[in-house]
């Protein structure tokens, strides 16, 4: 697991021990960042269910203005802090919190990575809360990573469920927020 490009290019990130955290594979991460490559620089990012923090770290390395990393697990929060320090990146804040509680803060973001554990039962509810609390700025993007067979909900305007991309057993689903 490494940073693909940007100021921290090539840095090897610390990986979790055991199977409690499932990092995004380098192939899927590279595909994801090819999809959103022009929507990163200067943006405010949220890495929800951060795990190792590699998606937010990649965004910071590519010029994102800031990134909030959220994970409910203490070991994941520590791993994100260690990886931020390893990459010498600034603009990252780590929050040990469950996704639903964090979203109630109502902070606004330009780009959201939502990469929940594949067995998480309330993925739909969290997506609904993202819409309810309206956390995406106008023209904001959310990328949700799930198993291919996981169905994700349609959302109410000004949010819109967009294209799905499949990579083996992994699916990336884009959600956007239109201008109002």
For residue 122, tell me if it sits in a domain: yes
Mean pLDDT computed over every residue of the chain: 92
Report yes or no on 167 lying in a domain: no
Report pLDDT digits (tens) over 67-95: 999 999 999 999 999 999 999 999 999 99
Q: What is the CATH number of the domain that holds 109?
A: 3.40.50.150
pLDDT tens for each residue of 14-49? 987 766 677 788 889 999 999 999 999 999 999 999
8 located within any domain:
no
Q: Is pLDDT of 120 > 70?
A: yes
Q: For the whole model, what pTM was predicted? A: 0.94
With a CB cutoff of 8 Å and minimum separation 6, the contacts of 55 are 24, 29, 32, 47, 113, 115
Number of structural domains in the chain: 1
Is 19 among the domain residues?
A: no
Structure tokens at 4: 């693909």
Q: Is residue 179 part of a domain?
A: no
Instruction: Using the structure block, give the residue that is written with the tokens 């109002």.
Output: 180
Half-sphere exposure of 23 (CA within 13 A, CB side): 22
Residue 102 has pLDDT above 90, yes or no: yes
**Domain membership of residue 123 as a residue range:** 26-161
């Amino acid at each position: 697991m490494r940073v693909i490009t940007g100021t921290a290019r090539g840095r090897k990130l610390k990986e979790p021990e055991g199977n409690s955290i499932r990092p995004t594979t380098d192939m899927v991460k590279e595909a994801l960042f090819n999809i959103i490559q022009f929507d990163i620089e200067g943006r405010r990012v949220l890495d929800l269910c951060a795990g190792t923090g590699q998606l937010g770290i990649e965004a910071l390395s590519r010029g994102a203005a800031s990134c909030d990393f959220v994970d409910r697990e203490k070991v994941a929060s520590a791993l994100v802090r260690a990886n931020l320090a390893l990459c010498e990146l600034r603009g990252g804040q780590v929050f040990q919190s469950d996704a639903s509680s964090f979203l109630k803060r109502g902070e606004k973001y330009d780009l959201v990575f939502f990469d929940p554990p594949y067995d998480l039962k309330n993925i739909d509810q969290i997506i609904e809360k993202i819409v309810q609390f309206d956390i995406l700025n106008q023209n904001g993007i959310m990328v949700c990573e799930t198993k291919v067979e996981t169905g994700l909900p349609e959302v109410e305007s000004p949010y819109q469920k967009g294209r799905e991309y499949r990579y083996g057993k992994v699916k990336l689903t884009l959600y956007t927020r239109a201008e109002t």
